[in-house]
Every structure is written in C-alpha cells, then in structure tokens.
C-alpha cells in the first residue's frame, strides 16, 4: 500500500445559508438536543443511518444537489435558524448554574481524566459503563456551565466490534477509525501544525498529537500516537482500548497520565483541580509533582502536598483483580530515570503504589497511587464506598473502617441523552422543560410525573416497545445473514418477539460475576414462562465479553444455544455488538430491566437508571446503586442483600428468588388490566419509580455533588497551599515530616473515669487522659474519645467520637486532657481514647496513617 507524500482534507461545499451546520456538527450538543439532531435527520434520513449518526461524515457525503435543494426549502431554513439560535444561546455560560452559584471560580479549570469516553455511537472511544459514565459527566458539566476539560486517549480501532460464529462463540473485529470523518478536530499550534507533546520511554522519544472533541461547552482532548514519526511499536500504543499485555497497558497509562498533563500545559491550561476517573491516569500526580518541583524549586515532599490538595480520585472497581497492578521490574524499566528526577529512590517510588511500602515483593498498584496522591477519594455508590473502605484499609493501618478516607458519590445518568424523544416531549408537556435545565428544581419538577395521564404514558411506552422489537428483528436478520443462515432462517427473524408481550432486557458486560445465565439454572421454569400463551414473556440480551475472557464468552454461548430451542426461539434474542445504539433501544423499550450481579461486586451500574427514566421497572440484586434506590414502590429486589460464602448456593437461592418474583408478582401485575386494557397498577409503579429515581440518579445531581464535596474544597485548599510560592505546602510538608519522625515518642499513659458505675440514661461520663507528648507539641495533635455500644464480642460498634480538651501539664510532666460522653442510651457502653495529627492545613487527619490508641492495662 502506497502512502502519499501530501494529504488534503476536502470540505463539502456548504451553501452560505447552511454554514452553521458545520459548527453544529462538530459540537456534540446534538447528541442530547433532539431539535439539533432532527435537523441532520431531516437532511437525509438514510444517510444519517448509513453514517451511524455521524453528521460530520454525513455532510462530507451529501450530494451537492441535495444541499442546493435545501437552500430553497423555506421550512428547513427556518428550522436551521431556530437551531442556530438555540445552539448560540446554549454556548453562553453567563446564566449557567455554576456561574450563578460559584462566580468566583468561573475562570478556574477542572481537568477530568479517563481512559475512555462514551459520548455517541459514531465516536467509538469506549468499552462500557466507565466510558458512558465519563461521557455523561462531561455532558452534565456542560449543562451546569462547569469550567471543565476532559482528557483521554484517541484509539485508532477503539474497543472491538462483536459478532458470533455459528456456535454462538464471540468473535472480535477491529475496524479502524478515520479521524477526519469524525466529530473531532486537530488542535493547531500557531504555525498551523497539529499540536504535539513528547514522552520519553526506554531508549526513545514518543510523540503524541492532540485532538479536540467539543461537548457542548466542554472541550475533550484526546492523544494519538499513530503518526509516522513514531516507530510502529509506539504507533500501536493508541491502537486499541484495553488491548495488549501489561507492558502495553503501562505505556497507555503513562501516555494518559503524564502525556495528558503535558498536553494541557502545552495548550496553556493550568487546571486548579485534577479528577482521576479510575486509576488509569494516576501517573499524572507524579508529573504534577515534577512540574511543581521545576517551577517552584521545591522538593518532591513539598510538591506532593500541593498535588494532593488539588487532586480528587474516583474508584469504580470493587474487586482487587479489577485494579491495575504492575510488577516492580516493569516500573523500574519505564521509570528508572523519572523517579531520579523526582529525587526518589526506587524503593521510595515503588512505595507510592504499595499498601506496605516496605514489602519489596508487592506489585505497584495504580489505585493505591491514586489514593495516596489524592486529597479526596470516593466510590460510586453507598455500598461501593463501604466495600472500598474495607478493600483498601491496609493503606491506612490502624484506622477504623468507617474513617478510611474514601467517601461515596453515587453515579447518575445524563437524562436528556437517554430518555426517548417521545417521552421527552411528554415530560416537556407535563413537567416543563426545567427537568432538563433547572438544576435547583429537579426534585419538585419530577413530582409532576404523576400528572401525566396513564393513557398517554402507556401509549408512549408501547410505541417505544414496538420500535425495540422492530430494531431487534432487523438486527437479527443482519446477524443471521452474516453467519450464512439459510433464507428460511433469515425470514423467521420477522416473527421473533411480540410487540405486546412483557419484555425483559438484560444488557451489560459479560463478566462472570454479572451472572447473565442465572435464569438458565432452571430451564423448565423458564420455558414455562416463555411459552405461556395467555401471559407471554420475552427476553432480549446484549453485551460483550472481554476478548480474553473465555468464561464470559461461554455465558454468551449458553444463551445462544438456549434461545435456539424450539420453545424459546421466538421469545429470547441476543443482539450482537452491544453499543450506545443498542443500549438506547433497550433502555427506552423494555418493560423490565434485569440485573443479577454477585453482591457486592457491582460498584454502581447505570443502565437500570436509564431504563427507569424511560418507564421500565428494575428487578435486581441489591447491589450498587439499586441497594439505595430500591423499595417496594420503585421495583423489585432479588433477595435481601445476603452475601454467601458458597457462590453456587447463592446462585441457586437467587435464581429461585428471581423466578418467584416473575411468576408471583411481575407477570401478574403486568397482565392485570382494567376494562380499558390499561395495567394501571403497573403504570403507577412506573410513575413512582420515575419520580423517585429521575431527580436523584442523574448526572446533574452527581456533578453538583462532585462540585460541592470534591472540586470546590480541593480548589480552595490548593489555593491556600499555593500562596507565596507554595509556602504553605512547604510548611505543611516540614510539619508532617517532623511529626512522623516524632510520633513514636508519643504515649497515652493513663485513662480514667470520674465515676466507674451507677450511670443512668441522661448522665454524663467525664473522662481524663494523661499523655506523654515526647517530642511532639500539644498543638500538633487532637485527642478524641471513641465510644459506643458494645457487641457480644465486647467490641465498640456504631461508634461516635468526641474531642477532648487540653487541661494542664501535671507535675510529673504528663499532659492532661478531659472529655465528656453524654449517655443517651441504656446498655453496655465502652470507650477508648485515640490521638490524631492536627494542623490547620490538613483536611483529613486519617490520610497521614498516624493514629495512636489507648491500650488496656
């Protein structure tokens, strides 16, 4: 194949009257603004589908005669003008929620790093839930007017495209993306060339070019190494998302973290806060330290304080195996010169990614690096926050689980991106447009969902189910033809599924813990449900297994083999190549959304939220977000949140529980119709679920929570430490070093109650503690009472804390502290005393890993 010596981009000849279409096409606002999307659909509906909903490619392919015809269509020109005004008004951030709420921070910048971004189907830069969450985060940030930029990698092949062979075994193909036909543009330097950054890898320098995707008001920057100046090995770094071996992974994560940081600097951006979405980008914290050391002539320890203050981290993985670990030898190979530039030894550098820095056999973990280098960390649901605190407790030995510095911010979904156009119009009519736009009125507005007439909501939902069935039939025809099926088999695709039957959807990544085949454990009960002529039920499955996950692929194969049984053939379908298009049809068209993870391995999950916003009802294990959203009015729970040591037994119990729900509650409720043939109790449950989940489990709430609980505190603390050439950061680093050196000299000598017994509810218990401060100062520590009811083992549970006040220095040189416990409950109560670091510039004393407990004598 011959490469050109020069290449050109030939732009379509867009008439003057339609010039704004180009700008709108290159801004992904059309993804969630139906009026803008309908503008492109109207130009050429067939071409819109052919290009996989890509307006940039579409405008490059449209016939010139069609464009000329449109300039003579007054109605279309009026629609273009309305779209132009709508587009222009949206871009104005002056009246946005963030500008009104935090006017002093409007010129700050938050950088959001993620390995994948799922924004729209034509930009295949995502694999699944993490990417979709990242994309929804950017969209909500845009809606709120948050000054945020995204940073990621641009993959030549993206994630794989899925197809199944005749046996139902997953196969992968990797079509290459043509970046010049996608809604992204190269970032150009002052000389008119594409802006690049450089990275030093072992024995060579790698160049990455920068691309920009405009997401409403938010810019997303993506790095790409597939350029001739690099060796083929280095061009391949950005070939595939989650492809290759551990060495490929570390190269990608160096590019994302260090390269992404340098790219923002190269474009003149100086973020006040960095948000690491999962641990893939954690190396940016080291680059931030390196940059601060050069700019301010500080030590690594001093720069680290500033970096910690300005970094927040979100973990999404509730099992250790899902986190990135690198062998020490691989870290040494890629960071041998880098850690020396930081002024660190190999052991000190490796210790940043280890639970126990002294354990030389321990691998380097990206999540641990992120936890140690971020001032604030969170899980993505309440349950996941709890799981994460337990999972990473060894990073902070001695700290109670409840005090491990990992909080929770439950995920949400970007409602305008996922709610069907039909339903969106219904919500506009009865809730008002504020359900999309008014961040302060979400809870009140969603209460109006009960004002929607049952007939209108149900008919709207039925239309979406009909479209889902039509889509599934079309996809199945295509799948069968690709497999070489006979004409009669292809023709049967027109007869699958029933547009009026209870339709249950299951689509997600096919990992074994998600248990896609839980229903197949009892094939007789399943067949009985599928073949009920009076109350028909049907299932639609979709999802991908990782290319290296053979057990996940086996789950798909089992479903395919089961659906080929004569009793199941028309009632069970697997849709290949799960992507945003398939997800959209499913969440907008099913009646029930099924989720069967092995608790507590689902960090959050968001597909069920999307389905409920469209009127579907969830039936799920109490895991992830559903553990906090489920009640008898919003859906059904499989089990009661039990966790079993015997996984096989758990599968059997929960499979039976699911069948009981289907047979005794879900199916009867769906088919209980009034004289007008409306399932009014079902519709009431739809409305109640939408009312509860709509305002709470969306990215407007989620991003606002990140702003108030993560971004703004980080921004404020970072500003304090940065004053006077990082003077506060220098002082804090010196104070911490001194405290760590002297902490072992600190001792709790004695703890006494003023009274030992005879307490009644309402009494106060006064406690004194005497400390030997050693080489520490009283101002450097806080002394706390730690108390609560005792369990059967004599341990404190449901603990509370209360500060103790410094009283005086005794004649023997010890220092006396006093505190009081209010006894407001009867029963066995216990207390102890603990000592923590105290300084005006630390926001969480537990992060230091310094804690001293009183010992029983």
Average confidence (pLDDT) over 289-316: 97
Query: What are the structure tokens assigned to 756, written together?
Result: 């030992």
The answer to whether the bond into 239 is cis (omega within 30° of 0) is: no
CA 447: distance to chain centroid? Answer: 27
* Residue 63 to residue 30: CA distance in whole angstroms: 22
* Residue 605 to residue 129: CA distance in whole angstroms: 7
- Identify the pLDDT of residue 145: 96
- In the predicted model, is pLDDT for residue 560 greater than 90? yes
Average confidence (pLDDT) over 140-156: 97
- In the predicted model, is pLDDT for residue 212 greater than 90? yes
Query: What are the structure tokens assigned to 835, written together?
Result: 């000592």
Give the pLDDT confidence of 580-639 residue by residue, as tens digits.
999 999 999 999 999 999 999 999 999 999 999 999 999 999 999 999 999 999 999 999
Strand, coil or helix: 662: helix
Strand, coil or helix: 672: coil
Of 582, 507, 515, the C-alpha closest to 552 is 515
Say if residues 170 and 235 touch (Cβ distance below 8 Å).
Answer: no
Strand, coil or helix: 210: strand
Q: φ, ψ for residue 648 (rounded to 5)?
A: -65, -40
Say if residues 168 and 561 touch (Cβ distance below 8 Å).
Answer: yes
User: What number of other Cβ atoms are within 10 A of residue 648's Cβ?
Assistant: 9
Strand, coil or helix: 496: coil
- Identify the pLDDT of residue 757: 78
Burial class of residue 325, CB neighbours in 10 A (0-12, 13-18, 19+):
middle
Q: How confident is the model at residue 341 (pLDDT cuts 50, 70, 90)?
A: very high
The CA angle 709-115-516, to the nearest 5 degrees, is 95
Give the pLDDT confidence of 370-385 residue by residue, as tens digits.
999 999 999 999 999 9
**Model-level pTM greater than 0.85?**
yes
* Residue 713 to residue 694: CA distance in whole angstroms: 27
Whole-number mean pLDDT of the chain?
A: 94
Give the pLDDT confidence of 434-477 residue by residue, as tens digits.
898 887 888 899 999 999 999 999 999 999 999 999 999 999 99
Long-range contact list for 61-70, CB < 8 A, 24+ apart? 62/12, 64/12, 64/13, 67/12, 67/13, 67/14, 67/15, 67/18, 68/15, 70/15, 70/18, 70/43
Q: φ, ψ for residue 179 (rounded to 5)?
A: -60, -25
Strand, coil or helix: 503: strand
The answer to whether the bond into 519 is cis (omega within 30° of 0) is: no
Q: How confident is the model at residue 94 (pLDDT cuts 50, 70, 90)?
A: confident
Q: φ, ψ for residue 306 (rounded to 5)?
A: -65, -40
Say if residues 682 and 665 touch (Cβ distance below 8 Å).
Answer: no
What are the residues whose beta carbons fall under 8 Å from the beta carbon of 2, sequence distance 6 or more? none
- Identify the pLDDT of residue 687: 98
- In the predicted model, is pLDDT for residue 798 greater than 90? no
- Identify the pLDDT of residue 1: 55
* Residue 402 to residue 406: CA distance in whole angstroms: 9
* Residue 702 to residue 691: CA distance in whole angstroms: 17
* Residue 58 to residue 44: CA distance in whole angstroms: 9
Integer CA distances (angstroms), 743 to 588, 747, 807, 842, in order:
58, 9, 21, 17
Give the pLDDT confidence of 711-740 residue by residue, as tens digits.
999 999 999 999 999 999 999 999 999 999
Of 474, 556, 477, 480, the C-alpha closest to 515 is 556
């Amino acid at each position: 194949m011959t490469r050109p010596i020069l290449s050109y981009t030939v732009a379509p000849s867009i008439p003057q009257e339609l010039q704004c279409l180009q700008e709108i096409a290159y801004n992904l606002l059309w993804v969630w603004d139906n009026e803008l999307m309908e503008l492109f659909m109207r130009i050429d509906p067939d071409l819109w589908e052919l290009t996989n909903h890509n307006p940039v490619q579409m405008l490059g392919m449209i016939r010139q005669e069609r464009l000329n015809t449109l300039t003579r269509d007054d109605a279309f020109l009026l629609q273009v003008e309305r779209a132009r005004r709508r587009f222009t008004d949206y871009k104005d951030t002056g009246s946005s929620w963030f500008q009104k709420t935090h006017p002093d921070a409007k010129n700050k910048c938050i950088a959001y790093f993620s390995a994948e971004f799922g924004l729209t189907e034509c930009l295949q830069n995502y694999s699944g839930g993490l990417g979709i969450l990242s994309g929804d985060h950017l969209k909500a940030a845009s809606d709120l007017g948050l000054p945020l930029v995204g940073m990621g990698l641009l993959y030549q092949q993206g994630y794989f495209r899925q197809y199944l062979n005749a046996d139902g075994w997953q196969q992968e193909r990797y079509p290459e993306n043509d970046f010049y036909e996608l809604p992204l543009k190269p970032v150009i330097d002052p000389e008119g060339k594409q802006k690049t950054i450089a990275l030093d890898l072992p024995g060579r320098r790698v160049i990455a070019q920068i691309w920009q995707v405009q997401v409403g008001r938010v810019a997303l920057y993506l790095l790409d190494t597939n350029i001739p100046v690099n060796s083929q090995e280095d061009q391949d770094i950005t070939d595939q998302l989650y492809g290759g071996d551990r060495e490929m992974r570390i190269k990608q994560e160096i590019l994302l973290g260090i390269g992404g940081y340098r790219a923002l600097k190269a474009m003149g951006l100086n973020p006040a806060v960095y948000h690491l979405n999962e641990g893939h980008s954690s190396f940016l914290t080291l680059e931030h330290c390196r940059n601060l050391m050069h700019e301010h002539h500080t030590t690594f320890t001093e720069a680290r304080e500033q970096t910690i203050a300005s970094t927040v981290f979100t973990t999404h993985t509730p099992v250790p195996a899902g986190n990135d670990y690198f062998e020490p030898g691989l870290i040494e190979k890629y960071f041998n010169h880098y850690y020396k530039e930081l002024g660190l030894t190999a052991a000190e550098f490796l210790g940043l990614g280890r639970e126990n820095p002294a354990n030389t056999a321990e691998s380097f973990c990206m999540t641990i690096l992120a936890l140690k280098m971020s001032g604030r960390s969170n899980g993505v649901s309440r349950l996941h926050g709890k799981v994460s605190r337990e999972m990473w407790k060894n990073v902070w030995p001695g700290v109670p689980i409840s005090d491990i510095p990992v909080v929770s911010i439950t995920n949400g979904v970007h409602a305008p991106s996922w709610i069907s156009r039909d339903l969106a119009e219904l919500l506009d009519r009865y809730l008002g447009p504020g359900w999309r736009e008014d961040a302060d009125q979400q809870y009140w507005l969603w209460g109006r969902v009960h004002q929607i007439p049952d007939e209108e909501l149900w008919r709207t939902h039925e239309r979406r189910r009909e479209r889902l069935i039509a889509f599934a039939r079309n996809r199945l025809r295509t799948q069968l033809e690709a497999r070489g099926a006979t004409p009669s088999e292809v023709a049967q695709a027109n007869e699958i599924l029933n547009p009026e039957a209870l339709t249950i959807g299951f689509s997600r990544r096919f990992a074994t813990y998600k248990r896609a085949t839980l229903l197949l454990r009892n094939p007789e009960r399943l067949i009985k449900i599928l073949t009920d002529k009076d109350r028909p039920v049907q299932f639609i499955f979709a999802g991908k297994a990782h290319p290296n996950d053979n057990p996940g692929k086996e789950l798909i194969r089992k479903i395919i083999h089961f659906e080929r049984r004569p009793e199941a053939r028309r009632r069970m379908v697997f849709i290949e190549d799960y992507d945003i298009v398939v997800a959209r049809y499913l969440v907008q068209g099913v009646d029930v959304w099924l989720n069967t993870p092995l608790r507590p391995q689902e960090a959050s999950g968001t597909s069920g939220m999307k389905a409920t916003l469209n009127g579907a009802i969830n039936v799920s294990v109490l895991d992830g977000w559903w553990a906090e959203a489920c009640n008898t009015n919003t859906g059904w729970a499989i089990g009661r949140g039990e966790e079993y040591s015997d996984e096989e037994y758990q599968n059997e119990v929960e499979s039976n529980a699911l069948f009981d729900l289907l047979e005794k509650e879900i199916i009867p409720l769906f088919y209980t119709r009034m004289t007008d043939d409306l399932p009014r109790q079902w519709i009431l449950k739809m409305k109640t679920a939408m009312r509860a989940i709509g305002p709470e489990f969306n990215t407007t709430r989620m991003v606002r929570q990140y702003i108030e609980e993560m971004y703004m505190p980080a921004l404020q603390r970072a500003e304090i430490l940065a004053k006077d050439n990082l003077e506060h950061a220098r002082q804090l680093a010196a104070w911490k070093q001194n405290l760590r050196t002297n902490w072992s000299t600190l001792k709790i000598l004695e703890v006494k109650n003023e009274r030992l017994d005879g307490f009644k509810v309402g009494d106060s218990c006064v406690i004194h503690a005497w400390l030997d401060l050693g080489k520490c100062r009283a101002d450097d520590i806080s002394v706390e009472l730690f108390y609560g009811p005792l369990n059967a083992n004599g341990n404190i549970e449901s603990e509370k804390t209360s500060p103790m006040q410094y009283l005086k220095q005794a004649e023997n040189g010890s220092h006396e502290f006093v505190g009081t416990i209010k006894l407001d409950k009867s029963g066995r109560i216990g207390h102890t005393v603990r000592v923590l670091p105290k300084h005006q510039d630390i926001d969480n004393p537990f992060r230091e890993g310094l804690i001293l407990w009183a010992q029983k004598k």
